[in-house]
């Protein structure tokens, strides 16, 4: 386990699953510049580490995160109410954790217990998949404190749940139970607290056992599909498929199918 001293830990097993944990005891894993800076550093290292094939993001002490820690010392916050330009620059810097999660070539899974609100909801929504305990509570929160949102929340919500639902969630904030979050499209599955970790482990293991190159190409296809026209998209999609089709992993997949055995992908 790698602990950074700033509220985030990283652990990676031999099977290629990296686990990132927001960990601020007594603060319900509230976000500060130190916390998101440490998370960004871990993600940068994971992006360059070929041994990591899947990432799980979660929180310690029974919560994912309550979002910004409004009671933290002013020097640890992005918005310090002195220079607006400096406040905005710090917010953009803090939001790089969301961008890196969204753009990471490796598949990401958010495992949510307890509270998930504000900027922390942005982190969860930036992951590819989200699974939650049946006791979790979600809230966009921002408008309740006279703010329009940060950490890219409106951007990721528009892409995950669509503009109409995103408007409802942002304009009418409030506590949302796990089953309501699933109905709204925020999460992929709701599980009893005692079963959540095993379900996320199953999903992460399946992702880690997939061909890394194919996963990366597929994630890029999914991202490009939100902005490119079909005419623009089809040649890019074709090039990525052909690139993967010529890989050792694709040859291994064909052999495994014919031999009726699980494939063993190496990333080549």
Q: Look at residues 53, 20, 63 and name the one whose alpha carbon lies nearest to residue 39.
A: 20
Domains of the chain: 2-208 (3.90.226.10), 212-259 (1.10.12)
For residues 52 and 248, what is the distance between their CA atoms, to the nearest angstrom?
19
Q: What is the DSSP letter of 92?
A: H
For residues 268 and 266, what is the distance between their CA atoms, to the nearest angstrom?
6
- pTM (two decimals): 0.94
Burial of 166 (0-12, 13-18, 19+ CB in 10 A): buried
List all residues 6 or more positions away from 246 whose beta carbon is below 8 Å from its beta carbon: none
**Is the distance from CB of 116 to CB of 64 less than 8 angstroms?**
yes
Q: What is the pLDDT along the chain (268 residues), one digit of tens a residue?
A: 455 556 777 777 778 999 999 999 889 999 999 999 999 999 999 999 999 999 999 999 999 999 999 888 999 999 999 999 999 999 999 999 999 999 999 999 999 999 999 999 999 999 999 999 999 999 999 999 999 999 999 999 999 999 999 999 999 999 999 999 999 999 999 999 999 999 999 999 999 999 999 999 999 999 999 999 999 999 999 999 999 999 999 999 999 999 999 999 988 8
């Amino acid at each position: 386990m790698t602990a950074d001293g700033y509220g985030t830990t990283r652990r990676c097993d031999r099977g290629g699953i990296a686990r990132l944990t927001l960990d601020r005891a007594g603060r319900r894993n509230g976000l500060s510049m130190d916390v998101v800076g440490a998370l960004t550093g871990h993600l940068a290292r994971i992006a360059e580490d070929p041994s990591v094939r899947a990432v799980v993001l979660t929180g310690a002490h029974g919560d994912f995160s309550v979002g910004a820690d409004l009671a933290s010392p002013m020097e640890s916050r992005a918005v310090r109410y002195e220079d607006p330009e400096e406040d905005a620059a710090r917010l953009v810097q803090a939001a790089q954790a969301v961008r890196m999660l969204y753009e990471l070539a490796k598949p990401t899974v958010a495992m949510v217990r307890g509270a998930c609100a504000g900027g922390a909801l942005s982190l969860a929504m930036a992951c590819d998949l989200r699974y939650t305990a049946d006791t979790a509570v979600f809230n966009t929160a921002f408008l309740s404190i006279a703010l329009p949102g940060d950490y890219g929340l409106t951007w990721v919500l528009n892409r995950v749940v669509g503009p109409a639902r995103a408007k409802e969630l942002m304009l009418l904030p409030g506590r949302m139970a796990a089953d309501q979050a699933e109905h709204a499209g925020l999460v992929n599955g709701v599980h009893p607290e005692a079963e959540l970790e095993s379900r996320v482990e199953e999903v992460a293991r399946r992702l880690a056992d997939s061909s890394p190159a194919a996963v990366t190409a597929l994630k890029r296809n999914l991202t490009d599909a939100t902005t490119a026209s079909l005419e623009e998209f089809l040649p890019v999609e074709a090039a990525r498929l052909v690139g993967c089709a010529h890989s050792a992993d694709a040859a291994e997949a064909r052999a495994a199918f014919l031999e009726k055995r699980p494939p063993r992908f190496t990333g080549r």
